[in-house]
Amino acid sequence: MNTVATSPADSGTASGPSPLEHISALEGKYLLHTYNRYPLVLARGKGVFLFDADGKRYLDFVSGLGVNALGHGHPRIVKTIRDQAAKLLHVSNLYYHEYQGPLAEKLCTLSGLNRAFFSNSGTEAIEGSIKLARLAGHRAGGEAKCRLVALEGSYHGRTFGALSLTGQDKHRKGFEPMLEGVTFVKQNDLESLRAAVNDNTCAIVLEPIFGEGGIYECTPEFLRECRSLADRHKAALIFDEIQCGLGRTGTLFAFQSFGVTPDIVAIAKPIAAGLPLGAFLAKEELASAISPGQHGTTFGGGPLACRVALEFLSILEDEKVLDNVNRVGGYLHQQLETVVEKHAAAIGVRGRGFIQGIQLEIPARPIVDAGLAEGILFNSTQDTVVRFLPPYLLQEKHVDKGIRVLKKLLGKKLKAAA
Ligand SMILES: *Cc1c(COP(=O)(O)O)cnc(C)c1O
């Protein structure tokens, strides 16, 4: 079959199905049905733009859910991948290669933590974090010191450990029983936090800013109380910065924006600029609880992903990328506030830098759907939040375009509702 697009993606003609029709039919037949995708076949990207199979351009406010922090086709990332692909892709963790040690050194130096473990994904970084916290807990307080405290409304991933910490029924339903020993507390509720943490707690696990949960920030006061309770009860304070970390808040680690240092931080999404890589970084006091053979991974920390991650971190420094996140993130916040002022359906703005959300009083999904026709990729979460996770290279003029379209769509919505 001729797969070259000669007609609009969703029309199809006498010459055969469009790329969208063809691919969605194939996936509908052969893929496990876990996603309701948007009607869009993405074919390539350049900077903050993506192009569909027909060449239509989209401004990207999603960056593959926080992954493509340097946008698409960054020349230094492309060059690094090409070069390393020809040299060495994979060796397994049985052997040394040139890039895992330097990447660990860099992340430890930048975070102030001591040791790294590399995984393939965010959820695995959480699994490793809680496994380490259990080991350290048992070492400090015996079998009973195994309990975990997590937050209602949180999201930590889809494997059983991470799912057991995820405080949203919609993700857990049908998969019970979960991991034992998890207590949930309300975000920013000091009373229920104090009631939940005790000497049997091995870890408090939280996202400093809820991502999937709808862009809700922990208050510095709440984070400081987590820190002091963890210290008092010899529990590990674990921050899940898989979505909010590595520059998205305007500092390399989100905890540096909040002034509270965790014992373990989990990172993933943007770390290898689009390749699968996750990691957790731990303080020595905890890291020393694990020995060879107790945890591992076949793919995690391979030469390709680690070298690209080193390049990603160098680009952040060389191109002063976080200055852009701070400046344009501030501008985005200001512009979203003007949307709230002008449109009754928009009631608040949350987040900072390039992790922000605008709270609507109407469903957000129709806004995202209508954005596609306007050439903008928006994202929605928790039904009524439009979430912004743009590439770090986004400029003011791109914000202006997105805001113009958002205002137009909200205007239409209001008219339709009236
Ligand atoms: C995406 C995400 C995860 C899970 O990462 P995966 O790579 O999808 O396994 C965990 N925690 C947070 C905060 C996330 O945003």
- Residue 30, C-beta contacts closer than 8 angstroms, at least 6 positions apart: none
Taking the C-alpha atoms of residue 155 and residue 66, their distance in angstroms, rounded to an integer, is 14
CA 158 to ligand 1 centroid distance, Å: 8
Instruction: Tell me what the mean pLDDT of segment 122-146 comes to.
Output: 98
Instruction: Tell me what the mean pLDDT of segment 22-40 comes to.
Output: 97
Residue 11 falls inside a structural domain? no
Same domain? For 209 and 303 the reply is yes
Same domain? For 128 and 253 the reply is yes
Return the C-alpha torsion angle 359, 403, 398, 271, nearest 10. 10
Pocket test for ligand 1, best of 67, 120, 156 (most atoms within 8 A of CB): 156
CA 180 to ligand 1 centroid distance, Å: 21
What atom in ligand 1 is closest to the CA of residue 159? 9
3-state helix, strand, coil in the chain (%, to 5): 40, 20, 40
Residue 271 falls inside a structural domain? yes
Instruction: Tell me what the mean pLDDT of segment 382-388 comes to.
Output: 98
Please give the order of strands across the beta sheet that includes 376-377. 42-46, 49-52, 57-60, 376-377
Helical axes 321-342 vs 396-417, angle rounded to 10°? 20
Q: What distance, in Å, lies between the first and last C-alpha atoms of the chain?
A: 48
Same domain? For 161 and 188 the reply is yes
Last residue of a domain, one of 291, 318, 345: 318
| DSSP code, position 167 | B
Residue 19 falls inside a structural domain? no
Same domain? For 272 and 166 the reply is yes
Same domain? For 375 and 232 the reply is no
* pLDDT tens per residue across span 167-209: 999 999 999 999 999 999 999 999 999 999 999 999 999 999 9
Among residues 412, 382, 391, the alpha carbon closest in space to that of 315 is found at 391
CA 126 to ligand 1 centroid distance, Å: 9
CA 404 to ligand 1 centroid distance, Å: 30
Same domain? For 232 and 380 the reply is no
Taking the C-alpha atoms of residue 357 and residue 174, their distance in angstroms, rounded to an integer, is 29
pLDDT of residue 16: 87
Instruction: Tell me what the mean pLDDT of segment 110-114 comes to.
Output: 98
Residue 159 falls inside a structural domain? yes
Backbone angles phi, psi at 201, to 5 degrees: -75, 130
Instruction: Tell me what the mean pLDDT of segment 353-377 comes to.
Output: 98
pTM, two decimals, is 0.95
Last residue of a domain, one of 288, 318, 348: 318
Same domain? For 233 and 134 the reply is yes
Ligand 1 pocket by C-beta < 6 Å: which residues?
121-123, 126, 155-157, 207, 211-212, 240, 242-243, 268
Pocket test for ligand 1, best of 155, 209, 275 (most atoms within 8 A of CB): 155
Q: Which two tokens stand for residue 322?
A: 């976080």
Same domain? For 268 and 330 the reply is no
Q: Mean pLDDT of all residues in the chain? A: 95
Neighbours of 295 (CB within 10 A): 15
Same domain? For 63 and 137 the reply is no
Same domain? For 277 and 383 the reply is no
Last residue of a domain, one of 262, 290, 318: 318
pLDDT of residue 412: 80
Residue 2 falls inside a structural domain? no
What's the sign of the alpha-carbon dihedral 195, 201, 205, 208?
positive
What atom in ligand 1 is closest to the CA of residue 244? 13
Taking the C-alpha atoms of residue 342 and residue 386, their distance in angstroms, rounded to an integer, is 16
What atom in ligand 1 is closest to the CA of residue 126? 10
Report CA Rg, the chain: 22
- CATH number where 348 lies: 3.90.1150.10
Pocket test for ligand 1, best of 34, 67, 118, 123 (most atoms within 8 A of CB): 123
* pLDDT tens per residue across span 247-302: 999 999 999 999 999 999 999 999 999 999 999 999 999 999 999 999 999 999 99
Residue 9 falls inside a structural domain? no
Same domain? For 147 and 185 the reply is yes
pLDDT at 11 over 80: no
* pLDDT tens per residue across span 311-324: 999 999 999 999 99
pLDDT of residue 14: 65
SS3 assignment, position 96: coil
pLDDT of residue 2: 40
- CATH number where 243 lies: 3.40.640.10
pLDDT at 3 over 60: no
What pLDDT band is residue 7 in, cutting at 50, 70 and 90?
very low
Same domain? For 264 and 296 the reply is yes
- Please tell me the residue having the least CA distance from ligand 1 atom 8: 122
Residue 14 falls inside a structural domain? no
Residue 15 falls inside a structural domain? no
Pocket test for ligand 1, best of 269, 271, 379 (most atoms within 8 A of CB): 269
- Please tell me the residue having the least CA distance from ligand 1 atom 15: 243
- The rounded percent of the chain whose pLDDT value lies above 90 is 94
Domain that includes residue 188, residue range: 77-318
| DSSP code, position 33 | S
Number of structural domains found in the chain? 2
Residue 31: Cβ-neighbour burial (10 angstroms; 0-12, 13-18, 19+): exposed
CA 134 to ligand 1 centroid distance, Å: 21
